[in-house]
Structures are given as C-alpha cells and as structure tokens.
Homo-oligomer: A and B are copies of this chain.
Amino acid sequence: MAVITPVLERADANLPQSLDRLFDLVRIQSISTDPGFKAECRKAAEWLVAELRALDFDASLRETPGHPMVVGHHAGANPSAPHLLFYGHYDVQPVDPLDLWEAPPFEPALKEVEPGQKVITGRGTSDDKGQLMTFVEALRAYKETKGSLPCRITILFEGEEESGSPSLKPFLEANAAELKADYALICDTGMWDRETPAISAGLRGLVGEEVVVKAADRDLHSGLYGGAAANPIHILAGILAGLHDGTGRVTLENFYDGVEETPSDIRAMWSKLDRTAEKFLGEVGLSIPSGEKGRSVLELTWARPTAEVNGIVGGYTGEGFKTVIASQASAKVSFRLVGRQDPGKIRESFRAYVRARIPADCSVEFHPHGGSPAIQLPYDSALLNTAKAALSEEWPKPAIVIGMGGSIPIVGDFQKMLGMESLLVGFGLADDRIHSPNEKYELTSFHKGIRSWIRILDALAA
C-alpha cells in the first residue's frame, strides 16, 4: 500500500464534513465589488482564519486598505521538503440578475443532476471557494492521518480577486520575506474536461477601463433637442463599434505590439484536442466564433488578445419608454492581453482612441480597473512535470498542459516580486457558470480535487 493511501481514504471518509464546511463558507456573501458586502467579506476571512488555526496553522487576518488578507504558516513534518505557498480567493462575483437563479445564490445545496452526477450549487462554489477548500481539506486529511503536513506550507487567501486585487501587490511587497516560498500553488483554474485534469501555462493579462461620455448638462427631451443635440449613447456606440475591424481585429494603435504567433507545434497539439467551435460555443447556445477570423477557438481564447465590452448603460432603461437624450452614457471595457503586450500602453492607446472620437462640446472620463500583463509559464519544468504525473494518477485521463483565457495577475506578481514559479491546477469545468447565475461545482471536482492535492503534496514533498 502506497504511503498516501490512508490519507486518500481519510479524505474519502471526511467528504460529508468537508462539504458542510464548504457550505458554511459559501453562505457568507463575500461580494468584493459591492461596498454593501464589506462586512461579509471580513466574515469570510475570519472564517478561514479559524479553519486554518484548527489545522495548527499560525494564521491571522491581515488588514489592507480594502478587504483583509488571510495568511497562515505551518512548519510541516519535513524541513528538507520544499516550502509551498498556496493562494486562493474568498471573494465572489455579484449575483445579479438574481431572478435567473434557480435557488438562492448563498444557500448552497447538493443536487443530483444526472444519475451519479452531483453538483454543489451556489455563488462561489467553483470560483473560488470550492477550489480553495480542496486544498484545505487535503491538508486536513494529511494532518488527521499523519499528525502533520508533509512540508512547510504558507497560505495566502485574498478577498479582492474579483475587484482587480488592488491591495495584493502592496501586501506582497510589504510581506515579501514572510510569503516567499519555493513554489506557489494556485487553485483558480479548470479541468480540460470531466475526465482530463489540466495545468495552465499561459494566462492572458487584463486591462479594464470604464468610459463615461458626457454631453448636455442635463437629460434632454428628444422632441425638443433631437437632431441637434449630441447624444452620448450615439458617440459611445460609435466608439465601441469601431474597436474591431471587419476581420475581428482590435483597431487600437499599436495594440498588437508584443503579440506573437503561437508556435506551430503548440497549435498542432491544441488542434488535436476535441474543442471545435461548435462544441465549445454550442455549450452556451452559440456556434460561430466572433473574434479574429481564421483562428481556432482555442487560439482565440488562449493566445490572442481581445477587447470586450462588459457593460453599458445610458438614458432611460426602465419599463416603457422615455424619449430622452441622456446627458451621459458609460461602458466598462476590458482587454485580454497576451505575450508582451504592455497594459499601460494599451490603456493609453485606448484613451487616445476614445478622446479622438469625442466631439469638441462633449467630454469623457476614464476610470481604470486592473492592469496586468500576460503570463507564460514554462511548458516543462520539474514542478509542472511532478504535478502532471500526480494528477494523471488520480483522474481517468492523463493531465494536459493548456493555455488560459482569463488572467490571474498574482502569477506575474509571484514571479516578479517573489521570484516564485507558480503551478496552476484547478478542477472547475467549462459549464460551472462562474460569474453567471446558477454557478455550480461538481462534487467530483471537489472530492477528486482534494485527492489530487494530497497526491501533488506527496510528490512535491518527496
């Protein structure tokens, strides 16, 4: 019997209680983007501190100008094993539109959706509370079986990931000595499919900008002023419509500086994966790739930069009609970056593009959000290969190395500020509806996720 078999068995036996604990955490409404939920964010942090202390961590809540961090330290049983830093985030996305949820978002439940397939429902179950708890529960199984942890472990949970992590960089800077480890483990990504675990090696960066176009100094009656007064919605629509050309390329000046074509061997590997546009988009009711023409959906979402409007509002949006010309209209626009695209230059290029389209009697305001470059992790490091082998033991199919559409800025910060290589392993699925109503996390993701970390910890500590 392998040395870790009892640990895995303990994790299996613990599962009902592990679920209860996850439910407790999901019930806390830790929406970080909405100031109305500030106290709930703190509550989630306090809950995690208590959990870590129960596992003999020297854990504490650490204040920031925003939501608090949770930091915990455990020496582990083996001083010669590598020191690992684990990162996750306890904050969650807003839940609107609430009426599209089949069950209240903060009342988690276990639901059998197919015979043999159970899901954990609720906001944050997949992003990222369910994921971070796979690691915590793996540690618990270890501690309960072996009396200690296999190596020295530092834990960092933040509460602002969904808000652009404004406090993270200063916190890493101020606490670099305390947080520096040999490797960082991050659990905020997905599987390739239900049977195939994945390690993410490429991550797109992110630049966000809110644009507010201002025209008249008050809302106007479109009967009195229509046809003569500037309409900020028209101006904004023109700006947003002009962001892409007819081939789907982003039109901003110098936007593609630092973007390189994906190596042909990587594209060849990706082309063998069964991720056609029909399948990938079919899952969400679409079928036609909307971005740059002539590229696969994997390339579009993993290796190409984008400009997406995430929200727009202006004028009268209530029931019925109001023939008004609004005094202002606004949009939230985000750019996903790849390669060596410079977030600061992209932001400036966008602002210049917008300013050039504002009539002389109107004005524009910008509110920046986030700003992180893309990350490319090595495709064949020791860390990655060890984890790949461990994951392949646990799941029906061998682990693969993939790109990633989203951005996890902390990977770059760990690299630059703490000189740590990161391992990105997660157990989410494409249909988890993260950031949408009816978010869920597969019970299998949770259970085998816990078991996966036990195997990875064991392999890395060896």
Contact = CB atoms under 8 A, between A and B. Distances in A.
Contact of A286 (B236, B330, B361): B361
Contacts of A336: 222-223, 226-227
A201 interface: no
B315 A332 contact: yes
Given A93-B322, A318-B34, A313 B310 contact: no
Contacts of A313: 312-314, 317
Contacts of A430: 224
Interface string A298-323: 00110011101111111111111111
Nearest to A219: B436
Contacts of A172: none
A301 B280 CA distance: 49
A277 B286 CA distance: 47
Interface in A139-181: 162-164
A204 B223 contact: yes
Interface in A257-312: 277, 280-281, 284-292, 297, 300-301, 304-306, 308-312
Contacts of A290: 227-231, 234, 359
A369 interface: yes
Contact of A317 (B223, B288, B311, B407): B311
A315 B302 CA distance: 23
B35 A233 contact: no
B406 A221 contact: yes
Contacts of A434: 221, 224
Given A221-B406, A285-B217, A33 B227 contact: no
Interface stretch (A15-23, A82-90, A238-246, A389-397): A238-246
Contacts of A458: none
A359 to B, nearest CB: 6
Interface string A34-74: 11000000000000000000000000000000000000000
Contacts of A361: 281, 285-288
Contact of A237 (B204, B223, B241): B241
Contacts of A319: 33-35
Given A233-B309, A234-B241, A436-B220, A321 B332 contact: yes
Interface in A388-430: 404-407, 430
Contacts of A204: 223
A130 interface: no
A329 interface: yes
Interface in A423-450: 430, 433-438
A227 B312 contact: no
A316 B310 contact: yes
